[in-house]
Structure 1
Amino acid sequence: MKLLLWVVVLSLRSPAGTCGSGVVFTKHPSNQTVSQGNEVRLGCAVEGVTEPEITWMKDGEKLYSTDQVFLTLGEQHWETSHSVKSVQQQDAGQYWCEVEFHGLTFSSERAWITVEGVPHFTQEPQDVAMFADTPFNLTCTAVGPPEPVELLWWLGGVREGEPGPSPSILHVPGVNSSIKFYCEAKNARGVSVSRTGTAHIKVLPEAPVSLQIVGMVDNNVTLSWKPGFTGHSELSTCIVQVLRCSARRWDLPQREVQVPPHLHTLTGLRSHANYSARVSCVNEVGASPFSPWLHFHTPEAVPSAAPRNLTFDLSEQHLSLKWAELQVDELQGRLLAYKVQWTVGGEAQEPLLFKESSAHLSGGGRFFNASFQVAACTAVGCGPWSPPVLVLPPSAQVRVPRSHVWVGLLLGLLVATIAGLLLAVVAQRRGKEMQFGSAFKSPGAETSVSFTAARSFSRNVTDLQESTLDGLCINDELKNKLKDVLISERLLTLGHMLGKGEFGSVREAFLKTEDSSVHKVAVKVLKSDITSSGDIEQCLKEAAYMKDFHHPNVIQLIGVSLHRRPGQRLPIPMVVLPFMKHGDLHTFLLLSRLGDEPFDLSLHTLVRFMLDISQGMEYLSSKNIIHRDLAARNCMLNEDMTVCVADFGLSKKIYSGDYYRQGSVSKLPVKWIALESLADNVYTTQSDVWAFGVTMWEIMTRGQTPYPGVENSEIYEFLIKGERLKKPADCRDDIYEIMHSCWSPVPKCRPSFQQLVSQLDTLWVSLSPASPQKEPLLYVNLEGDGGEHGGGARAPGPEEAAAAAASNWGVPWQRQVEHEEKDWLIGSVAAFAIGGDYRYIIGPCGASEEEAGGRGSTDTLQEEARDEDDDDVVINV
């Protein structure tokens, strides 16, 4: 924009008034009336200020204009102007200029700019909604200048009446369908037209959409929905209908909900029941049609009642127990088993599990004077116990001569006394029963829960055919790799859950070998609801990787088993692994810092952990394996505290070149991934080195989450700026230098695992308290055998003291897990001694294992540890 500048030198001052303090306005803006689209210029001059800051104001607001011009009229005499090239209606208003001097503000006189042109609307007609044939009014207002302004209405394309002065109100007697309207404003300059409004007829609303469940806690289900077309009228309420399908009736309660919000929580629903819900919304006209039915199933619960009519039949060889089955409404879930507990002489015996509502026990004599109770169990837990029943021989078997009636009376009195004492003991222990069964313990060692084999209570069930690899949709190469490690599922008995991930769970188990010995193992079980052959093949590929691993710091494969499910085409794969007594390294580190009984981990011990992991990763890299998920949570601690690299769910074998490119989007451990992997989805052994550096940081911080305070979405920007993990407190500089070298932005500048093994080995030897000879880090005897190791009696060294302390690491931890996570369907080694079918006690592993594991309580610290990782990783099981 070109500006015309000129300088006018005035020798005489304008006879303007003095503002005070020597500041005088010698020129004031003047009132101006201009036609729309023309240029306008306002002027203002002030004297008595050196280089003043003159500000233009409009209607009390400061103007920020590039068209403002400053002119020098003389020493301490200045003039400014404000111009608008093309005036519009919004430029009309009151203008003045201000100047500040010594903290005071001085103002010029005020002037008006009046814009002449076609009328502009200060109130345009708005949309309306009404019932059919109901009168309503429309309003329109327009102003000049120039005045006067006349308004003319158009309704449905037809002119209504004659022009009239502004403002104008149009009375409409009523319409029976939607119609458009607008008004015209006319003055001497021309005509302008308002917005077009619509008169809507109120109608019924449309059915709500997107009905869904947004929360399900116990038996409380929260529904949400979105309203459909409202019918040009606000919705006041919505009607929620709930329908329950039962064997006896259909319930159709109706609930009225005030809206908004479009949300409602259904309470008082039955457990393990099928429900359907639908919603209708109401406006002034009436109710909308109902939305489509939403079908859902409430979760299971423990049974609400105890089995009734518990009876027995006792002989010298057998004891038979019978009881009535629970009704569906009482069961509140799918029956897994009946749990029978019994006491003799006030001592609790091992509980038994039975699939049917009867039990047949051999050796009837040993049950004389025993008290029995039974409870029904679902996947959530066991319900209340039945009243205790005392087992006594039938009176018909006792023949008393008439001459010795008094002897019979004495015997009866004695038996009644004993029965009363037993009932008192049972009643006392009954008081300690909880929702999920009996909580009392014997005075001695903790009572363990055992069970009989499935065949002992399911004699009429036909055994499922043994699964083979030929029945899976996997390639021949993978099938040939796994043939020699296939284990019959009859040789496995599952115990309690050790961990749970996105794709399945890890459970304790017992494996019976060919020489009839029993070994404790860990079993990774794929989720029962995963039926895709691709997911099964991915699980078996992990096992195929591990089959070829033979290194003390890499977890080894014991075998693969296939569990056949009734009615399912594909079996569930189970990967059998060694049982790692101390669990994963991350949880162990957390326990050392946050457990109920914290313990110290020496720097020598922590460096040993790092050395073990680096040796395992060196072995994997030599096999051309990229782990892609190296972290403390995926490293396991065996009995002698040696660390083994585990969890190869994301691993890939490099068949050519030296990198692997991730071809699809998947959840990955963001805070452990190298910079180039985040940018380009490229994974190499060098990206595993990056993850190893993060794992070293986890070890030195005793299990803290990396990059505290940095969100996953911010990690890439954080790293690309050159930021890295800070040095942990009490971390030596040489250790931090090693881990920091793993985070070089240039992959080839990072150390190899071979170099890391050498550096950490040298560091570990230098930290050894005595001989640098490599011995197992710690040996923790958790079995309580009390055996000695090493030879000769001598004073314990620092490492042995650490080993002694470590013997307390596992025991409270292990016992706590067994107590809190104990599944009442735990396998017992004693089950192998009685022979027979070694299937899972509850039949198909799929749903039962998932449901029982998914609802089992967990150790608080392990739950905290998993919560820290959930935002960053997918735990592949």
Structure 2
Amino acid sequence: MAASCFNPFRLRKTKSKSLSIPSSSRSQLNIDTDNMERKRFDSLESWSMILESENVETWEASNEEREEWTADLSQLFIGNKFASGAHSRIYRGIYKQRAVAVKMVRIPTHKEETRSVLEQQFKSEVALLSRLYHPNIVQFIAACKKPPVYCIITEYMSQGTLRMYLNKKEPYSLSTETILRLALDISRGMEYLHSQGVIHRDLKSNNLLLNDEMRVKVADFGTSCLETQCRETKGNKGTYRWMAPEMIKEKPCTRKVDVYSFGIVLWELTTALLPFQGMTPVQAAFAVAEKNERPPLPASCQPALAHLIKRCWATNPSKRPDFSEICFSSFRPKLAYWHLSTIKSFWHEQFYGTRRVNSVCCQCL
């Protein structure tokens, strides 16, 4: 059976507080568990197609690896696939009675260069995720490794990616409050990431996930690196539409490449559009790196927000703000002011029968 290819390992112990499943999701979780019972990890029918691991080199986890991050595969249930990439597939799952996402990476054995890159990405992602814990970073749960198949188990984000959310919206339809709230979540996660010495290098709306409460979490650390080891940019580890010009030119990168990408994401929140729409990714990269072009800012964009976006995607990295400045100076005071104005508007309506317009608040943004 396929299960014979794997040894069940003990899940790492952690001092981090586990995140509870929202009450609205508990009944669905029970249904999912029942539906996934027949797709348990030791089921030949469901796993032989995924693993295809006959006649491959065996792998034995060290004691240290078992304790640090290795999953107890007997507790893993696999559901439907909901996303895929060139070398990976992502499935819904249940792990120890918790809704999870299971990223399965199949590493080609006949392409040595690709194999080496994907193995390094897996090791890097697990090493980074297992040390990160923040409300705006997707929570790592466990991982497993059996060449040529590797898997990473994280919390399940029920509302999908930010890009999926924006695709459902009319252009320019997000309220200022929604833009600020989503942007603050992202900047908080990135502020924490940078405080840990980590550069994401592929920040984009497809790597930002939403949960039941519509809170944003930063995800996908396959191309991330420690800032002290992140000088190499050969091979363009990122996505052209969100990539900083210095990365496109394969120059040494700093944490400011993430700030540039955040500027593009802010533009997405403002417009709900795909950046550089009408261009291919390569054309977008050429426009940014050689012609210093950026996506057009709409006239409806609040002046202060437009100013922040321009600062974030400045050509000179030293001109871009840090996420600590973005969090504390740009979003938190404005979001607090927005809530205060909303409360005042509510009481104005109760006493005078007309709703007070928050025009002053909007001008302050």
Deviation at 1:770, TM superposition (A): 3.9
Q: Do residues 683 (structure 1) and 253 (structure 2) align?
A: yes
In the TM superposition, 1:194-343 aligns within 5 A as none
Distance 1:507 1:752, change over 3 A: same
Aligned counterparts of 2:215 and 2:37: Cα–Cα separation in 1: 36
Whether contact under 8 Å (2:124, 2:224) holds in the other structure is no
Aligned counterparts of 2:88 and 2:39: Cα–Cα separation in 1: 24
Aligned counterparts of 2:39 and 2:164: Cα–Cα separation in 1: 35
Question: Which of 194, 204, 209 in structure 2 is aligned with 1:621?
Answer: 194
Whether contact under 8 Å (1:632, 1:699) holds in the other structure is no
Aligned counterparts of 1:633 and 1:714: Cα–Cα separation in 2: 20
Distance 1:550 1:771, change over 3 A: farther
Distance 1:549 1:454, change over 3 A: closer
Q: Do residues 592 (structure 1) and 176 (structure 2) align?
A: no
Whether contact under 8 Å (1:481, 1:544) holds in the other structure is no
Question: Which of 102, 111, 120 in structure 2 is aligned with 1:523?
Answer: 102
Distance 1:483 1:537, change over 3 A: farther
Partner residue, 1:227:
none
Deviation at 1:603, TM superposition (A): 1.7
Distance 1:454 1:672, change over 3 A: closer
The residue type equivalent to 1:590 in the other structure is N
Partner residue, 2:298:
728
Q: Please list the CA deviations of residues 653-699 of structure 1 after superposition, one character each: whole Å capped at 9, or x if unmatched.
A: 1236xx5222x425631121112222233221111110000011111
Whether contact under 8 Å (2:39, 2:78) holds in the other structure is no
- Aligned residue pairs total 296
Distance 1:771 1:549, change over 3 A: farther
Partner residue, 1:760:
331
Q: Do residues 636 (structure 1) and 209 (structure 2) align?
A: yes
Whether contact under 8 Å (2:143, 2:151) holds in the other structure is yes
Structure 1: unaligned runs, 5 residues or longer: 1-446, 465-469, 513-517, 565-569, 773-796, 798-877
Q: Do residues 495 (structure 1) and 79 (structure 2) align?
A: yes
Whether contact under 8 Å (2:92, 2:102) holds in the other structure is yes
The residue type equivalent to 1:730 in the other structure is S
**TM-score, normalised via structure 1 length:** 0.31
Q: Please list the CA deviations of residues 584-632 of structure 1 after superposition, one character each: whole Å capped at 9, or x if unmatched.
A: 11101112339xxxx9642201211111101111111111111110001
Whether contact under 8 Å (2:241, 2:285) holds in the other structure is no
Give the secondary structure class of the aligned counterpart of 1:693. helix
In the TM superposition, 1:542-621 aligns within 5 A as 542-562=125-145, 570=147, 572-593=149-170, 601-621=174-194
Give the secondary structure class of the aligned counterpart of 1:587. helix
Deviation at 1:738, TM superposition (A): 0.5
Distance 1:630 1:451, change over 3 A: closer
Aligned counterparts of 1:718 and 1:480: Cα–Cα separation in 2: 48
Aligned counterparts of 1:709 and 1:451: Cα–Cα separation in 2: 41
Further displaced range: 602-611 or 761-770: 761-770
Partner residue, 1:650:
223
Distance 1:701 1:508, change over 3 A: same
The residue type equivalent to 2:128 in the other structure is Y
Distance 1:600 1:748, change over 3 A: closer
**TM-score, normalised via structure 2 length:** 0.72
Whether contact under 8 Å (1:482, 1:544) holds in the other structure is no
Aligned counterparts of 1:689 and 1:737: Cα–Cα separation in 2: 14
Distance 1:450 1:749, change over 3 A: closer
Aligned counterparts of 2:292 and 2:236: Cα–Cα separation in 1: 26
Aligned counterparts of 1:529 and 1:727: Cα–Cα separation in 2: 43
The residue type equivalent to 1:680 in the other structure is E
The residue type equivalent to 1:489 in the other structure is L
Q: Please list the CA deviations of residues 143-196 of structure 1 after superposition, one character each: whole Å capped at 9, or x if unmatched.
A: xxxxxxxxxxxxxxxxxxxxxxxxxxxxxxxxxxxxxxxxxxxxxxxxxxxxxx
Q: Do residues 706 (structure 1) and 275 (structure 2) align?
A: yes
Give the secondary structure class of the aligned counterpart of 2:140. coil
Deviation at 1:530, TM superposition (A): 5.6
Aligned counterparts of 1:712 and 1:528: Cα–Cα separation in 2: 25
Give the secondary structure class of the aligned counterpart of 1:559. strand
Whether contact under 8 Å (1:626, 1:683) holds in the other structure is no
Question: Which of 228, 231, 240 in structure 2 is aligned with 1:670?
Answer: 240
Deviation at 1:734, TM superposition (A): 1.1
Whether contact under 8 Å (1:584, 1:637) holds in the other structure is yes
Aligned counterparts of 2:186 and 2:36: Cα–Cα separation in 1: 39
Partner residue, 1:257:
none
Deviation at 1:538, TM superposition (A): 2.4
Give the secondary structure class of the aligned counterpart of 1:619. helix
Aligned counterparts of 2:196 and 2:317: Cα–Cα separation in 1: 20
Question: Which of 719, 740, 744 in structure 1 is aligned with 2:310?
Answer: 740
Deviation at 1:541, TM superposition (A): 2.1
Distance 1:701 1:472, change over 3 A: farther
Aligned counterparts of 2:212 and 2:37: Cα–Cα separation in 1: 30
Aligned counterparts of 2:84 and 2:297: Cα–Cα separation in 1: 32
Give the secondary structure class of the aligned counterpart of 2:296. coil
Aligned counterparts of 1:652 and 1:588: Cα–Cα separation in 2: 28
In the TM superposition, 1:125-140 aligns within 5 A as none
Seq. identity, %: 27
Which of structures 1 and 2 has the larger relative contact order (alpha carbons within 8 angstroms, sep 6+)? Answer: 2
The residue type equivalent to 1:499 in the other structure is A
Partner residue, 1:511:
95
Higher strand share: 1
Structure 2: unaligned runs, 5 residues or longer: 1-30, 46-50, 52-56, 345-354, 356-365
Give the secondary structure class of the aligned counterpart of 1:764. helix
Give the secondary structure class of the aligned counterpart of 1:765. helix
Aligned counterparts of 1:552 and 1:674: Cα–Cα separation in 2: 26
Aligned counterparts of 2:287 and 2:36: Cα–Cα separation in 1: 55
Aligned counterparts of 2:44 and 2:196: Cα–Cα separation in 1: 48
State the structure with more CA Rg.
1
Q: Please list the CA deviations of residues 335-391 of structure 1 after superposition, one character each: whole Å capped at 9, or x if unmatched.
A: xxxxxxxxxxxxxxxxxxxxxxxxxxxxxxxxxxxxxxxxxxxxxxxxxxxxxxxxx
Q: Please list the CA deviations of residues 65-112 of structure 1 after superposition, one character each: whole Å capped at 9, or x if unmatched.
A: xxxxxxxxxxxxxxxxxxxxxxxxxxxxxxxxxxxxxxxxxxxxxxxx
Q: Please list the CA deviations of residues 746-784 of structure 1 after superposition, one character each: whole Å capped at 9, or x if unmatched.
A: 111111111111212122222225469xxxxxxxxxxxx
RMSD of the TM alignment (CA)? Answer: 3.4
The residue type equivalent to 2:123 in the other structure is L
Aligned counterparts of 2:43 and 2:267: Cα–Cα separation in 1: 53
Deviation at 1:717, TM superposition (A): 4.7
Aligned counterparts of 1:537 and 1:717: Cα–Cα separation in 2: 29
Give the secondary structure class of the aligned counterpart of 2:212. coil
Aligned counterparts of 2:299 and 2:312: Cα–Cα separation in 1: 19
The residue type equivalent to 1:661 in the other structure is E
Deviation at 1:454, TM superposition (A): 7.4
Q: Do residues 536 (structure 1) and 119 (structure 2) align?
A: yes
Partner residue, 2:14:
none
Deviation at 1:712, TM superposition (A): 3.3
Whether contact under 8 Å (2:107, 2:149) holds in the other structure is yes
Whether contact under 8 Å (1:701, 1:729) holds in the other structure is no
Partner residue, 2:360:
none
Whether contact under 8 Å (2:236, 2:247) holds in the other structure is no
Aligned counterparts of 2:335 and 2:143: Cα–Cα separation in 1: 37
Give the secondary structure class of the aligned counterpart of 1:575. strand
Q: Please list the CA deviations of residues 43-78 of structure 1 after superposition, one character each: whole Å capped at 9, or x if unmatched.
A: xxxxxxxxxxxxxxxxxxxxxxxxxxxxxxxxxxxx
